[in-house]
């Protein structure tokens, strides 16, 4: 019985439940089993948070507290007063508060297993490599770095030190994104023909992301990477031909160093065409979107990339419709990331989104910039 025949025999509720279960089981086969393993019951991966900005304080640190596998045991910040306030909230002892200057001393701290790097893009490589040399596992925010060379150095350093390197592609751990992948793989919408995706927002003046040295580039590096990565995991293919353009429309001082808009198209080996845009000048609906066009149906997620509130809709073969809002609230995407690295450390497995995944996106973004007539990464 094919996917189309099967879908006709199930109710909408049954199909949604089975698809979600298959997505989780197929894409993350080890997580549930490992989490249930009595050997790891009560065990904690001890985290050092490197950089106390919005994403760490408002999202990742609360996620670690909610997780079953993690505990915050150290902090790294250039602002001692801020660090002490956070330390009081998470019961981090004063000797485990570090500055960027004495960061290497984490090597001596036996209460640190892994670091979470939430620094400006240009600092990812340095602090990942230093963490590896200190013998600590690494969860690094995306984009992985600001150059292909730095990404390769990060991968090499972690391999040499025999520590795990995971890039924080939270959407690849999100149940709704996993369901979208499973629907495509099952043939529910037929052969994929084309994908559209966009993500952007009007950026405020003064953001470090407008500094080319710190950010590496404009919106492509910050939010365009979501559309790029989504096209890769939705198709399960690596793009071949890439064409691109960039523009700056608002000459108000914000875009003296980085571009305002990027648009690019990709052709995949199967013939699938993808069209993506990203912007620091326009609004793409508060969380971006993607839409996948198949020969027997379609699926879309809008918003697709925010921390909460994602919404999947689809019309699939056999006349089944899906309209499924995300039940989870922030910071559960971050909880899943923290739990995944913990399980990988304890079972000595490679993360689902290793350094090589981050490297591939940087290589592709470098090609996009080159195709747009900008300086490659």
Q: How many Å apart are CA 128 and CA 115, to the nearest integer? A: 8
**How does pLDDT run across 137-193, given as a tens digit for each residue?**
999 999 999 999 999 999 999 999 999 999 999 999 999 999 999 999 999 999 999
Q: Which of 87, 250, 258, 232 is nearest to 171 (CA)?
A: 232
pTM of the model: 0.89
Q: What is the pLDDT of residue 62?
A: 98
Element (DSSP H or E) covering residue 198: strand 192-200
Q: How many Å apart are CA 327 and CA 324, to the nearest integer? A: 9
**pLDDT at 119 > cutoff 60:** yes
**How does pLDDT run across 219-258, given as a tens digit for each residue?**
999 999 999 999 999 999 999 999 999 999 999 999 999 9
Q: How many Å apart are CA 365 and CA 377, to the nearest integer? A: 7
Question: Active-site residue 142, yes or no?
Answer: yes
Spot the catalytic one: 226, 233, 280, 369: 226
How do the domains of the chain map onto residue ranges?
3-27+171-326+355-371, 42-170
Q: What is the pLDDT of residue 139?
A: 99
User: Which residues are bridge partners to 166 per DSSP?
Assistant: 139, 354
**pLDDT at 21 > cutoff 70:** no
**How does pLDDT run across 314-327, given as a tens digit for each residue?**
999 887 899 999 99
What is the fold, at CATH topology level, of the domain defined by 3-27+171-326+355-371? Answer: Dihydrodipicolinate Reductase; domain 2 (3.30.360)
Distances (CA, A) of 48 to 90, 247, 275, 304, 371: 12, 39, 39, 30, 39
Q: Which residues contact 377 (CB under 8 A, 6 or more apart)?
A: 146, 147, 148, 216, 217, 362, 365, 366, 369
Element (DSSP H or E) covering residue 150: helix 148-161
CA dihedral 366, 306, 184, 244 (to 10 degrees): -30
Q: What is the mean pLDDT of residues 119-131?
A: 98
Question: Active-site residue 233, yes or no?
Answer: no
Q: How far apart are the first and last CA of the chain?
A: 48
Sign of CA dihedral 53, 54, 55, 58: positive
Residue 299 · residue 189 · CB < 8 Å: yes
Q: Return the CATH number of 42-170, one of 3.40.50.720, 3.40.50.300, 3.40.1390.10, 3.30.310.10.
A: 3.40.50.720
Q: What is the mean pLDDT of residues 1-8?
A: 31
Spot the catalytic one: 142, 164, 179, 352: 142
Q: What is the pLDDT of residue 39?
A: 64
């Amino acid at each position: 019985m094919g996917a189309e025949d099967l879908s006709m025999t199930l109710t909408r509720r049954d199909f949604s439940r089975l698809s979600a279960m298959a997505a989780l089981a197929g894409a993350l086969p080890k997580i549930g089993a490992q989490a249930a393993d009595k050997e790891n019951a009560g065990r904690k991966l001890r985290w050092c948070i490197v950089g106390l900005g919005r994403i760490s304080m408002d999202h990742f640190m609360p996620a670690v507290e909610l997780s079953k596998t993690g505990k915050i045991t150290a902090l790294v910040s250039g602002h001692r007063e801020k660090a002490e306030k956070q330390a009081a909230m998470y019961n981090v002892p004063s000797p485990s508060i570090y500055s960027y200057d004495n960061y290497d001393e984490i090597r001596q701290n036996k209460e640190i297993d892994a670091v979470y790097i939430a620094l400006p893009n240009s600092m990812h490589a340095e602090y990942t490599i230093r963490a590896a040399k200190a013998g600590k596992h690494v969860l690094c925010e995306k984009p992985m770095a600001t150059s292909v060379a730095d990404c390769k150095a990060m991968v090499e350093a972690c391999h040499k030190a025999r520590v795990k390197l995971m890039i924080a592609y939270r959407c690849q751990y999100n149940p709704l994104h996993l369901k979208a992948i499973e629907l495509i793989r099952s043939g529910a919408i037929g052969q994929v023909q084309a994908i559209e995706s966009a993500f952007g927002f009007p950026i405020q003046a003064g953001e470090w992301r407008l500094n080319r040295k710190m950010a590496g580039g404009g919106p492509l590096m910050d939010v365009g990477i979501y559309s790029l990565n989504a096209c890769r995991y939705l198709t399960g293919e690596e793009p071949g031909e890439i064409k691109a353009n960039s523009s700056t429309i608002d000459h108000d001082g914000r875009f003296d160093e980085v571009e305002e808009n990027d648009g690019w198209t990709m052709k995949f080996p199967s013939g699938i065409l993808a069209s993506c845009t990203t912007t620091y000048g326009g609004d793409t609906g508060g969380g971006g979107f993607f839409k996948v066009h198949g020969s027997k149906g379609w699926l879309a997620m809008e918003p697709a990339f925010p921390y909460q509130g994602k919404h999947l809709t689809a019309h699939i073969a056999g006349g089944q419709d899906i309209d499924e809002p995300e039940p989870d609230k922030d910071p559960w995407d971050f909880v899943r990331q923290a739990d995944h690295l913990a399980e990988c450390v304890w079972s000595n497995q490679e993360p689902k989104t290793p350094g090589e995944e981050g490297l591939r996106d940087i290589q592709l973004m470098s090609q996009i910039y080159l195709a747009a007539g900008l300086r490659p990464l």
